[in-house]
Structure 1
Amino acid sequence: MSINTKPGPTILLTGASGVVGQAVLGQLTDHTVVCLTHNKPVSGPDVVSVRGDLTFPRFGLDRAAYESLANRVDVVVHCAAITAFSVDASRTNDLNVRGTETILAFAQRAKAPLHHVSTAFVTRQDLTREGKSSARPEVYLDSKRLAEQAIRDSGVAANIIRPSVVIGDSATGQISQFQGLHGIAGALLRNALPMLPLQPDTRIDFVPQDLLARVIVGLVQAGKTGGEYWVTGGDGAPSAGRIVELSIELARSFGLKLDTPRFVSQDMVDRLIRPVFIDSLPKGQRRRFDDMLAMTTLFHTAEPFSSTYDRIPGVELLSTTDLEHAFTASMRHYATVKNLIRLSEVAA
């Protein structure tokens, strides 16, 4: 394995093909990056792909290759994780918990600081563990809490980074894979969401991927560890009512006319809507509904998240207006990719 050296430290990056990993990779221009990939290799200037499996000791590499890699890496950025709510607990824990333990062992061997991407929603301890839903966010959140604890217990020099929901680039809206919030807002744009299991004043906390990448790269460059950084909208997160307004405004700019969805309680969904309308749907449609319901459940918090990423040099807190612009950019990109703009032109 040949690794060219750039002025900055050599970084081992996991999850480079995912939403966060791709955004981070795009900002590591002054560093040599080794991407640990499970299937698809990652290419680019001064990027090396190493095929490995986080759920295996030494990533499944032979001892010589593992030692060679450890001797070359200066910093570890750990973005890989299962984030889907419908994946079973065994698979989720394999990657999110055991995978983090494997990364910790590597960081110890390499004597490298670790920057670990967790989630702000680890604070949600009150999610139900009963019911018919196929989407179980508590499984994902339990795994992230266990991973964080493993880091604290390890003695490895580390930072824990806790973003809320990640959306596309703040200017272009581009993203490698659409996420749960895209699905909800996309259903709004299609006029396929007659009701929304939220209250109008509920904060919808999200951050654009380029902000999160700047935070991670800023921490790498600062060389400081031992911190926990909340990368969230916090007090500036827009309300569910405002998100609906922005979606309607965007739809109008495409020539679409949307019906405003009715805001309903999750109790109403469980008692009335699910037994009558949802349980009889085909499996695929029922799963999409469950995914939406699980996502909206996360936003039911009494207090806003902390937001502390402005402690990083050169990074400022985004305002509500900034977040609203980022949301609109994401949904404009979504509508373009999904051909909603073309459909609106045909309808006109």
Structure 2
Amino acid sequence: MSSSPPTVLLTGASGVLGTALLAELPAHCRVTALIHRCPCPAADDQFPGDLTAPRLGMDRETYRALARRVDAIVHCAAVTDFTSGPEAAHATNEAGTRAVVEFATDAGATPYHVSTAFVARHDLTRSRLGRDTGEAGARPEDYLDSKRAGEEVVRSSGLPSVIIRPSIVIGDSRTGDISAFQGLHGILLMLLRGMLPLVPLPATSLIDFVPQDVVARTIAALIAEERREGEVWVTAGPAALRAEQVLDVVADTCAELGLSTDMPRIVGADMVDRLIRPVFLAGGLPARALRRFDDMLAMTALFADAATFPTSLGELPGGPPPLTAARLDAVLRHSILYLAETKRLGDAAVRPMPVEVPA
């Protein structure tokens, strides 16, 4: 980077990580947002663009002018919907990443590519395990294949680059606020509404999630340090809560909210496949409910007795410390309260004012 204040190009500025990152980037950085649909007033500059179009959707003159200014690129934009299909996932997560890398080459800029820790679990999807996917519309394998391909684009470019792998990203650690609800929020909402009679997951499976501000602080620290290479895992690692602990937090928060919701029974996927789904669910549930259950089967397969993620938290100067189980418990509670308040469930008055969560 140059000796003058660095200019950071941010993709996905209106998304979960983009909005969190805008609040955490070093004050001396000048942030330029590449926007597609949503404006980004928090950025210093913004340019309309499209990751799937030539020159990122810009005319030649604008593209060249921007390339002369940019020192680093934080690539957060991605298709994360498991139901989007392989074409849409690869168009943004692979081809879009290729366009960003080409721009980085033209700009002589360092790409900070946001991937996902779950690329390490691409072999755990139900289809790859040879399990029936039923009526599921969710196909994690499409998303994971596209993210792995995106990482390969970055690695094969020959550019000095940093690959960042967060686990599940949830809301702000102090407030639970988030710009858009993610997959885990959908499962939490079904729990709050009493719509899950069972959870097809071993009780001791680790549910690795990280608050959005921790991911944003990690990326900000990488830029401040001018890190130009490596792979950074932003995960809870060994501190991740077990599935049974997550349900305990949900149950306690439901009680606080005045919601009389029975927690589901935890069962193994083998029992679901051999007995529960073919005997009790198939033909006995409305099609929409069965599809929702099969979607949950598809998502929870990525956690069932999976190996613990590595974590880089605590290793980066100026970055956030490692997460602890106590902090994750509090972080999850804040996210549940925010979700309940937004969906008008229970007594919203119990939601506390934002507080610092002890490390």
Please report the TM-score for the alignment, with normalisation by the length of structure 2. Answer: 0.89
Q: Distance in 2 between matches of 1:243 and 1:23?
A: 24
Q: Check the 8 A contact 2:126/2:298 in 1, yes or no.
A: no
- The letter of the residue matching 1:188 is L
Aligned positions of 1:216-231 closer than 5 A:
216-231=219-234
Does the C-alpha gap of structure 1 residues 8 and 330 become closer, same or farther in structure 2, counting only changes over 3 Å?
farther
Return 5+ residue gaps in structure 2 as ranges: 351-359
Aligned-pair CA distance for 1:32: 1.6
Post-superposition offset of 1:283 = 5.6
Q: Which amino acid aligns with 1:127?
A: T
Aligned equivalents of 2:46 and 2:291: distance in 1? 34
The answer on whether the counterparts of 2:341 and 2:348 sit within 8 Å (CA) in structure 1 is no
Equivalenced residues, count: 339
Residue identity matched to 1:261: P
- Spell out, residue by residue over 1:55-104, the C-alpha distance to the aligned partner (whole angstroms, 9 max, x if none): 11201211111001101111100001111111110111000000000000
In structure 1, the residue matched to 2:354 is none
Q: Which position in structure 1 is the counterpart of 2:154?
A: 151
* Residue 289 (1) aligns with residue 293 (2): yes
The C-alpha deviation readout for 1:19-74, integer Å capped at 9, x for no partner, is: 11111112124322111111121112x52221111011201211111001101111
Q: Runs of 5+ in structure 1 lacking a partner?
A: 1-6
Q: Which residue of 2 aligns with 1:35?
A: 33
1:67 aligns with 2:64: yes
2:263 aligned with 1:263: no
Cα gap change, 1:36/1:282 in structure 2, threshold over 3 Å: closer, same or farther? Answer: farther
Q: 2, 8, 11: which is aligned to 1:11?
A: 8
Alignment of structure 1 residues 257-336 onto 2, 5 Å? 257-275=260-278, 276-277=280-281, 284-314=288-318, 315-336=320-341
What per-residue deviation string (whole Å, max 9, x for no partner) do you get for residues 163-214 of structure 1?
Answer: 1000000010000011111111221122221101111111110000000000
In the TM superposition, 1:1-348 aligns within 5 A as 8-28=5-25, 29-44=27-42, 46-124=43-121, 125-129=123-127, 131-132=133-134, 133-275=136-278, 276-277=280-281, 284-314=288-318, 315-342=320-347
Q: Provide the identity percentage.
A: 46
Offset, 1:284 = 4.6
Q: Following the alignment from structure 1 to structure 2, what is the Cα–Cα distance between the partners of residues 261 and 145?
A: 34
Aligned twin of 1:4: none
* TM-score normalised per structure 1: 0.92
Q: Partner letter of residue 332 of structure 1?
A: L
CA 1:225–1:259: 2 relative to 1, 3 Å: same
Counterpart CA distance in 2 for 1:42 and 1:343 is 30
Residues 1:61 and 1:283: Cα distance change in structure 2 (over 3 Å): farther
Q: Secondary structure of 1:27's partner?
A: coil
Give the distance between the partners of 1:178 and 1:291, measured in 2 at CA. 16
Taking the aligned partners of 1:170 and 1:249, their CA distance within structure 2 comes to 18
Q: How large is the RMSD of aligned CA atoms in angstroms?
A: 2.0
Q: Please tell me the residue identity of whatever aligns with 1:309.
A: L
The letter for the 1-side match of 2:235 is T
Deviates more, 1:289-298 or 1:259-268: 289-298
**Letter of the structure 1 residue corresponding to residue 331 of structure 2:** A
Give how far 1:264 is off. 1.4
Using the alignment, how far apart are the partners of 1:213 and 1:59 within structure 2? Answer: 24
C-alpha separation between the residues in 2 aligned to 1:279 and 1:178? Answer: 31
| SS across alignment from 2:23 | helix
Give the whole-Å Cα distance in 2 for the aligned partners of 1:301 and 1:215. 27
**Counterparts of 2:39 and 2:349, CA distance in 1:** 38
